[in-house]
Amino acid sequence: MRCLIQRVTSASVTVNGQTVGKIGPGLVVFVCAMETDSDDGAAKAAKKTANLRIFRDDHGKMNKSLVDVAGSMLIVSQFTLGADTSRGNRPGFSFVASPADGERLYGRFAEEARGLCHNVQTGEFGADMSVQITNDGPVTIWLDVK
């Protein structure tokens, strides 16, 4: 599973002009299921994300996790994270999971995150979404979990 994680002060996602997810301080996680991913990998990625120590402690060091700070998580599906740009100028997506598998694994990631985090919101799988993010830091982490 491939994730792009951003620490935020606030974020929201809208579909067709309607807000479907909104959080305050926490993480926005863009998630892409790859063709070789499994349910166990999705759960492992969610656990790793929730426990990444990328929030400041009392001394200003990144020593606390989302779980430690009782922050929120907004999970957004984004198959374009799986783009293969090794040939030509048009990205290829042959290594991305099928839509059915992608949706299942996205759901598994969200399910695991809900068991770990205070507040978990999601976008709408496969929808054309508008995501508003106020990045904090900025802190942006790339995570690949096999």
Catalytic residue among 55, 79, 109, 125: 79
Distances (CA, A) of 94 to 1, 99, 126, 142: 15, 12, 17, 20
Cα–Cα distance for residue pair 80/8, rounded to 1 Å:
21
User: Is 125 considered catalytic here?
Assistant: no
Catalytic residue among 80, 95, 132, 140: 80
Catalytic residue among 6, 49, 78, 122: 78
Q: Please state the separation of Cα 93 from the chain's center in Å.
A: 19
Across the strands, what pairs with 96?
34
Enumerate residues 6+ apart whose C-beta is below 8 A from 61: none
Distances (CA, A) of 54 to 16, 86, 123, 127, 140: 33, 31, 23, 29, 9
* 28 and 9 Cβ atoms separated by less than 8 Å: no
User: Is 134 considered catalytic here?
Assistant: no
User: Is 78 considered catalytic here?
Assistant: yes
Active site residues: 78-80
